[in-house]
Amino acid sequence: MPRKVRISSSETEKKRSLISRLFTYSLPHKSCFVSAFFMLFVAVVSEMAIPWLAKVILDEVIVPQKFDWAQLLGLIGAIFAFYCIASCFSYWQAVTFRHSALLVVNDIRKELFSHVLNFPIKTFDRQPAGKLVSNITNDTESMRDMFVSTFPAMVQGSLRIIAIFIAIALLDWRLMLLSLALIPLLLIIMHLYRRISMPIFDGVRVQVSRINSQLNEYLQGMDLIQAFRREASFQERFEKENRRWLKFRSKAISIDSLMLIPLTRLVATFTAAVIVAWFAVESFHSVIEVGTLFAFLSYIERFFDPFRQLSMELRKLQVATVGSKRVFELLDSESDHEKHLQLPVELENSRNIEFRNIYFSYDEGTPVLKNVNFVAKGGEFTAIVGPSGSGKSSLVNLLMRFYEPQSGEILIGGQSLYSIPDIQLRELVGLVSQDPIIFSGSILENIDLSNHVSDLKTASYAAQQVQANQFIEKLKGGYNHTPGHSGTSLSIGEKQLVALARALSHDPDIFLLDEATANIDSETEESVKRAIEKFKDGRTVVCVAHRLSTIRNADQILVMNKGQIVQRGTHDELVTQMGNYRDLYLAQKEQEENVLLDSSFGLSTSTV
């Protein structure tokens, strides 16, 4: 892994550190870059030889009219050969640079995504998904541009300028000194362009990131936007952000149009006029060679090309610097890579769970859980119920180690939850959430998600246990069926059954069901209830439930309210006690009776 460079407080040193760190990713591919630089050197030298050969033809053959055909054909052949060499080596170096840059970006993206995969869950609460996508795609792409064009352009420009100065010095050292005087002027133009353009291109990058985040949010909530007929409102919001992007882009185009070509071309034209005037004055005192004048003008024209090119590449360099800054900030942010390096710990009973005096808050402010204490014994079914916002799902999040409590202790098998390696914990626990996620790929790959190579036998057995096989086998392709983006071809109930089979596929000791029956129909709920009965066979089941019918057979029911456990016991015990559970039970019972009554009334009226 490339070493991390410490970034100082100075802005200049920060940029140097970023670029230095970025170049460490090229070290594994240095042979490709060395080859590309060699080919670039050959291409530049060959290109710079052409005006000199043209000078020889003019001064030694055409002007004196000494037509030595062998010499003339030899010089023309040499020009043609150098053109071919310059063209071929330019092509090869461009291909090699691009291939090398792709390898570098591939390494950066792999490291970046690996880092994101190990982020604590709380990181995703703060980072918009669109911003992370922009970091992994757009920002790394701008870093690619640096290796493909910016860095080669800087080296090529430097080689060209050196070669041109050598050639001009051999022609006339006084004109070489005149050319040297142009460099400060061109550097001032480049510096002005950089100072003016950088804030604008920073704004472009920020605005693109904002648009990506906004689009991601809008597309995910498109059903609500259309349901509430808010298309016009969200269109206006999007157009507002897009106008800001257009404003920044328009400024960038104006600056490029003014400073990149017209200004440098003006200086080039002025320089050419000075050189012609110089030769005109010299012609009064001595004979001026036409070939020398042609060579001077050719070299001076080439002399400005690197500065124009470098001015254009400064923009890409700035974008790459901003992109690399964002990427490295992401790479330097908190991650849990070390969690995979821990050795397994010995557990007394991997099915026993204990919460001791747990206090927890998501934002270090309002407590979500307060002094929570309970034990879920191995092989028992523990249910957690309560109104929305009472802290039920937070218990699951803590048990999955997605978040850490501010105080208290969570034990599994007598060991602290935070002493158990991540791999061991994930093998111990199977999670089914309220909103099942279906990834791109087949049903088989979605069920057997814990293995690198999906196993049909394992997946089909898990599906049979939760009765998901009944609808899977009816699908086209069966377990190889691809349900589309986010499982669009599956119902909510079918998605939940796939999620249950997924949790069962790696045979965990502990099952966590976080309101797994909240959004499913009664038929699927019965399948879930039967699955829970099978899960209980030697395993610990912790079920956060909204529907009390799902958890009537629980060995222990914990009733949550305002972050605290206010009641605990079995269903039969709690319904006889005055309290939250009884109120919740009676409310749901009344609701079910009303639904049944409405259904019966509808049936009777239709038959009258």
Q: What is the pLDDT of residues 544-589, one digit of tens each?
A: 888 788 888 889 999 999 889 999 999 999 988 888 888 888 888 8
d(CA 322, CA 334): 20
Residue 597: burial class (beta carbons within 10 Å; 0-12, 13-18, 19+):
exposed
**Averaged over 81-108, what is the pLDDT?**
89
H-state helical runs in 333-404: 392-399
Q: Give the pLDDT of residue 598.
A: 59
CA diameter of the chain? 123
pLDDT at 17: 77
pLDDT the model gives residue 127: 73
Q: Tell the residue number behind the tokens 């802005």, with chain if given.
A: 11
| The CATH fold of domain 353-598 | Rossmann fold (3.40.50)
4 vs 166: CA distance, rounded Å? 40
User: Average pLDDT for residues 119-132, to the nearest whole number?
Assistant: 74
| pLDDT score of 450 more than 70 | no
Q: What is the CATH number of domain 11-113+124-332?
A: 1.20.1560.10
Residue 8 and residue 30: Cα distance in Å, rounded? 27
The predicted pLDDT at position 608 comes to: 31
Q: With beta carbons less than 8 A apart as the criterion, state whether 291 and 55 touch.
A: yes
**CA-closest candidate to residue 455, choices 444, 469, 441:** 444
Q: Measure Cα distances from 300 to 40, 124, 271, 275 in Å.
A: 21, 55, 8, 9
Q: Is 382 left (phi over 0), alpha (psi -120 to 50) or beta?
A: beta
For 8-27, the pLDDT digits (tens) are: 445 667 667 777 888 888 88
Count of beta carbons in the 10 Å neighbourhood of residue 273: 10
- With a CB cutoff of 8 Å and minimum separation 6, the contacts of 231 are 225
138 or 79: which carries more pLDDT confidence? 79
Tokens 């070390």 identify what position?
A: 338
Whether the Cβ atoms of residue 460 and residue 453 lie closer than 8 Å to each other: no
Cα(293)–Cα(295) distance, integer angstroms: 5
N-term to C-term CA, the chain = 78
Question: Exposed, middle or buried by CB within 10 Å (0-12, 13-18, 19+), for 239?
Answer: exposed
467-498 burial, b for 16+ CB within 10 Å, e for fewer? bbbebbeebeeebebbbeeebeebeebbbbbb
| pLDDT (mean) for 78-88 | 92
Q: For residue range 225-264, list pLDDT tens digits in order.
A: 887 788 888 888 889 888 988 888 888 888 777 776 677 7
**Continuous H helices in 221-289:** 222-227, 231-259, 262-282
**Reported confidence tier of residue 605, pLDDT bands at 50, 70, 90:** very low
Please report the pLDDT score of residue 374 as a whole number. 92
**How confident is the model over 494-534, as pLDDT tens digits?**
888 888 888 888 788 888 888 876 666 777 777 777 777 77
Per-residue pLDDT band at 357 (split at 50, 70, 90): very high
The lowest-confidence range among 317-321, 480-484, 539-543 is: 317-321
Residue boundaries of the structural domains of the chain: 11-113+124-332, 353-598
Contacts of 222 (CB under 8 A, 6+ apart): none
User: Across residues 319-323, what is the average pLDDT?
Assistant: 77
